[in-house]
Amino acid sequence: MKTVLEPFRIKAVEPFRITSEAERRDLLARAHHNLFLVKAEDVMIDLLTDSGTGAMSTEQWAAIMTGDESYAGSRSFFELEAVVRDLTGYRHVFPVHQGRAAERILFGCMLTPGQAVPNNAHFDTTRANVEYLGAEAKDFVAEAAADLRDDTPWKGNLDVERLAAWLDEQPAGRVPVGMLTITNNRVGGQPVSMQNLREVGELYRSRGIPFLLDAARFAENAWWIHRLDPAWREVPLRRVARAMFDLADGCMISAKKDGLVNIGGLLCLNDDALAAKIKDLLILGEGFPTYGGLAGRDLAALAQGLREVLDEDYLQYREASAQYLAEHLERRGVPVVRPAGLHAVYVDARAALPHVPPEQLPGQALACELYLQGGVRAVEIGTLMFGETDHDLVRLCLPRRVYTQSHIDWVIESFGEVMRRKDGIRGLRIVEQAPVLRAFTARLRPMAAGAATGV
């Protein structure tokens, strides 16, 4: 069967306004060709992020009504704690308002200036929280990830050999914690294999370094292990996920992804002494440990989201819709990064617009054209976001349980139209930018005709 069957019925709908291309041209100019500055109500299909943009189930909405709003000792907290302990096996469970709060608290308890944190690839906020404390965030991306068209699986892996060699050179005490991000968002949402999880864990352990997972997309990583690793093919997803967590000493989770909620996060671990320190910082910045910056109803919705996310039919549908998007974009000549992940499909903008050099922001130019064509909002991950970088990508993120196959068809058709007129697409130049994180606020203008080709 070719049709992607969404394993849910729609019980509430959120209408969006259908805009015309002429209208969008005006809106884009007013937003200075920066899609972060376009109002959400002027977007028809919003693929900016999969974070906090999912739809909750009927059971989650029911949990919202029964959430316990007590300041201390909320029943909803104890429910969540039981669900998270069962999922991860970790003793200490701290709710936080989102992933980066877990990062700030954990690193605040563990890092001092001059130290370093290794990872397969730090997500932006993780890196920023490490660097804010005067420490170094060090990435060990697998070699296979450099080739965007290579179909090799497990491109999210950490390069264990390079990490071992690097650890050999570090003075005692320089590395107080080691990380692994599953799935690897900075590297195309690629998964990490169980073998790599095991090897990384053994390496950290052999050096006496605590091992923490950034497990924002743990269910999607577990799904790939179940799908691609014959040793785990027959194992229930919940046991696959538990096996991943068992290899580490704790985790940080942005629950806005696989927690299936719009806000929330978790910090979980076994170390009693570290947990005591975390509790102090948590109270200082987030709130009492039984609510951690969330409402009781948020805790209740998260507990239910974690019960639902490892459902095989849901993850099968998620894979089917991402693969459908990737395959049909390719058929229309869109250079898609391989293999396609689950939370997003990435497009290689340098390959799509070879006449636009990186300094003229091909990723941003392509994302703007997609908005003009179809009212679809994607995000540039490239020169505008990072300055000089190896790749200019456009990320099409898939919010969980939000869009149907016909929405995806609209995206495919819109991108196909963009590719038909790609030779005429001009690059952009920055006319105004902030000193840090410029992608969010920069003002841009299209290059004058002829400039893109250097004529």
Which residues contact ligand F0G (rule: CB under 6 A)? 49, 51, 98-100, 123, 125-126, 181, 185, 214, 216, 254, 256, 265
* Residue closer to ligand F0G (CB basis): 258 or 392: 258
Beta bridge partners of 377: 46
Phi, psi of 315 (to 5 degrees): -70, -30
How far is residue 383's CA from residue 321's CA, in Å, rounded to a whole number?
28
Q: Which residue is nearest to ligand F0G (CB)?
A: 99
CB 396 within 8 A of CB 325: yes
* Residue closer to ligand F0G (CB basis): 33 or 100: 100
We find the least distance from the C-beta atom of residue 145 to ligand F0G, in angstroms, to be 15
Phi, psi of 48 (to 5 degrees): -65, -40
Biggest alpha carbon–alpha carbon distance for the chain: 69
We find the least distance from the C-beta atom of residue 255 to ligand F0G, in angstroms, to be 7
How far is residue 175's CA from residue 197's CA, in Å, rounded to a whole number?
18
We find the least distance from the C-beta atom of residue 102 to ligand F0G, in angstroms, to be 8
We find the least distance from the C-beta atom of residue 139 to ligand F0G, in angstroms, to be 13
* Residue closer to ligand F0G (CB basis): 74 or 185: 185
We find the least distance from the C-beta atom of residue 267 to ligand F0G, in angstroms, to be 12
We find the least distance from the C-beta atom of residue 215 to ligand F0G, in angstroms, to be 8
How far is residue 184's CA from residue 259's CA, in Å, rounded to a whole number?
17
* Residue closer to ligand F0G (CB basis): 97 or 422: 97
DSSP labels, 35-104: GGGS-GGG-SEE-S-SSS-PPPPHHHHHHHHH----SSS-HHHHHHHHHHHHHH--SEEEEESSHHHHHH
* Residue closer to ligand F0G (CB basis): 156 or 375: 156
We find the least distance from the C-beta atom of residue 118 to ligand F0G, in angstroms, to be 15
* Residue closer to ligand F0G (CB basis): 256 or 391: 256
* Residue closer to ligand F0G (CB basis): 87 or 419: 87
Give 306's contacts (C-beta < 8 A, 6+ positions apart): 80, 83, 84, 87, 255, 259, 260
